[in-house]
Amino acid sequence: MLKLFTPGLFAMRSVAVFGLLALLAVCSSALASGTTSAELAELVKRQSEMLERQAQQLEDLQARLVQLEARAGVDSNAFAQRHAVPVMTDAEVTSVPVTTQASTTTEKDRTDIEELQGQVALLEAAQADQSYIDWSDGGPEFISADGNRRLKIGGRLQFDASTTNGSRFDDSSDERNISGTEARRLRLDISGQLSERIGYKIGYDLAGNDASVRDAYLSSLFNWGDEDVVLYVGNKYDDRSLDGATSSNNTWFMERNFVSSAITPDRGAYGLGVKGKIYGDSRDWHASFAVTNGRLGADTDHSDTATYMTRAHWNPWHDGTDMIHLGGWGFYEDFDPSDDSVFKNVDAADHFNENVTIRSRKLSDPDSSSAYGLELATSLGSFAAAAEYGQRTVDQRDSAGGESMNYDAWSVQTSYFLTGESHGYSRKSGVWRLPEVNDPVSAGGLGAFQVAARYQELDFYDAPDYPGGDGSSTTLGLNWYPNDWSRVMFDYTLWDTHNRSGDFKGLDDGNTLSARLQVVF
């Protein structure tokens, strides 16, 4: 009779364990596919009922095991201590109906005890391990039962096409009127938590046919009174300007504005060192700081330039998704003597056409650099607007004449959702986010449509005898969001440049039409 009983319980255990795993998979898929709250509640209810049945199975198995061990003279306490099985009282044992058998220990009893012990251990392990996979953000996130250990796989795919016309430089050997395609960004990110307060991230990127490691850092969460503080150690993207701090997944246009792309440290947008952020307890302000020395992948045959950076934002008013944003930032660079020059060459149209640029003059033997920027933005229903200004000064060493280079940039932009969505925005970090699509294509809708316009200027012409350039651009954009993780973008840019050095000297103007297919996971 015992042989019939044991395989039956084993089958029940197998069905329960595999059923639980299947139900967890269904729940995860439901989150990713937009299951309604009522359907999700039903799935959770079924999972809860399955866990209750498992608990009852475990209790019955333990009672049966204690009886067999008592009959065979086996120490139940030793097994319980090894496997964390609660030892039942005599009253609990006698309350479980068992067929009376002889009290002598047989080989059959020992075999049955070992089999039951294995079943109890497996069933307890199945109950204890409630880790799961969350697909709600597109890519898989593996989460431990206690929620403290996590590993998320994410990334982005951005494929661009571009064509430029109207430039007076149309020689086949020296022209700006070019067309083509490129993989603008192909990125794979691995991020997560090692514990409740220790996190990590590493990102590998192929951007503009240049492969490199981008973010690569450890993070730690602290509490400072009522505020949260996050400290980052490693290579991390700068918190600088509204458009610059916003992910390229979420910007309204294919390329960031002149303020973000021109008013930058010499090392670029990533810095290797220590960075930190403090968030207000009301989640309507933040402040950041950074002390970096070079960047990941930089040359190691000379000393790096030290950079000190800060940014802060505040939302003096917000109501739901409506808000007003005020922000400011700045940085200071202390150049190492091995840095022999500073030079900027900023895209005026899009990233593909590297001939349509605005060039600065080259300043030799730089000593230090300082910059600041101001931010203003608002979001009101389906309408949003933003304005930014930035200025940078680069000073030479006395041995090179002690001159300085000053330049500035500014930008204004506006956006409107034709389909009624609100602009995504993080009051915690002061950056733009993707919108929540009201009627995605996967549900039979049209997705979300956004129209946007931007005007911007960049001026390197800081003195009549300095060969710096200047220029401006006006961009009209149309973005289509089929769902929350994909986007199709069209940008039409009217640009003009006046460069005083390089291959394309003098006044020039033209137009560039760009398109992008983006998938984020």
Is residue 111 domain-shared with residue 211, that is, in the same domain?
no
Last residue of a domain, one of 130, 145, 165: 130
- DSSP per-residue letters across 426-482: ETTTTEEE----SS-GGGTS--EEEEEEEEEEEE---STTS---EEEEEEEEEEEEE
Same domain for 337 and 214:
yes
Kind and range of the H or E run holding 188: strand 179-193
Whether residue 228 contacts residue 219, with contact meaning beta carbons closer than 8 Å, is answered with no
Cβ proximity of 169 and 175 under 8 Å: yes
Contacts of 120 (CB under 8 A, 6+ apart): 58, 61, 62, 65, 83, 85
Q: Are residues 281 and 191 in the same domain?
A: yes
Q: Indicate whether 15 and 152 sit together in one domain.
A: no
The radius of gyration of the chain from alpha carbons, rounded to an integer in Å, stands at 31
Helix/strand/coil for 132: strand
What six digits make up the tokens of 43? 């799935």
| CA–CA gap between residue 66 and residue 76 (Å, rounded) | 6
How far apart CA 288 and CA 247 sit, in angstroms, is: 17
Domain boundary among 83, 105, 130: 130
**197 and 217 share one domain:** yes
Report phi then psi at 90, rounded to 5.
-60, -40
d(CA 479, CA 424): 14
- Mean pLDDT per 10-residue run, the chain (521 residues)? 37 41 43 47 59 67 66 52 47 45 56 69 63 84 89 95 96 88 94 95 83 92 92 97 97 98 95 96 94 83 90 97 98 92 95 96 94 98 98 90 90 98 97 97 96 98 83 98 96 97 94 98 91
Specify the DSSP element, H or E, that contains 126: helix 107-128
Burial 324-353 (b: 16+ CB within 10 A, else e): ebebebbbebebeeebeebebebbbbbbbb
Do 105 and 149 belong to one domain? no
Q: How many CA atoms lie less than 13 Å away from 448 in the CB half-sphere?
A: 21
Q: Do residues 120 and 66 both lie within one domain?
A: yes
Q: Residues 9, 14, 15, 19: what is their CA dihedral angle, to the nearest 10 degrees?
A: 140
SS3 for 49-117, per residue? HHHHHHHHHHHHHHHHHHHHHHHHCCCHHHHHHHHCCCCCCHHHHHCCCCCCCCCCCCHHHHHHHHHHH
Are 167 and 253 contained in the same domain? Answer: yes
Q: Which residues of 383-410 are buried (b: 16+ CB within 10 A; e: fewer)?
A: ebbbbbbbbbebbbeeeeeeebbebbbb
Q: Are residues 180 and 291 in the same domain?
A: yes
Instruction: State pLDDT tens for residues 149-178.
Output: 999 999 999 999 999 999 999 887 789 999
Positions of E strands within 194-321: 198-207, 210-224, 227-237, 270-279, 285-293, 306-319
**Domain count of the fold of the chain:** 2
Q: How far apart are CA 263 and CA 391, in angstroms?
A: 6
CA–CA separation, 363 and 306 (whole Å): 18
* 150 shares a domain with 56: no
Same domain, yes or no: 195 and 278: yes
Model pTM score: 0.76
118 and 163 part of one domain: no
Token output for 135: 């697909």
Q: Are 226 and 207 in contact (CB under 8 A)?
A: no
| pLDDT in the model for residue 61 | 65
DSSP 400: G
Q: What is the pLDDT of residue 15?
A: 38
Q: Give the closest residue to 236 by CA, choosing from 199, 207, 262.
A: 199
Q: Which of 100, 130, 160 is the last residue of a domain?
A: 130
- pLDDT of 127 reads 56
Q: Distance (Å, rounded) from C-alpha 123 to C-alpha 115?
A: 12
Domain residues for the domain of 101 are 2-130
Residue 310: φ, ψ to 5°: -150, 155
pLDDT of residue 403: 84
Query: What CATH number should be reported for the domain holding residue 238?
Result: 2.40.160.10
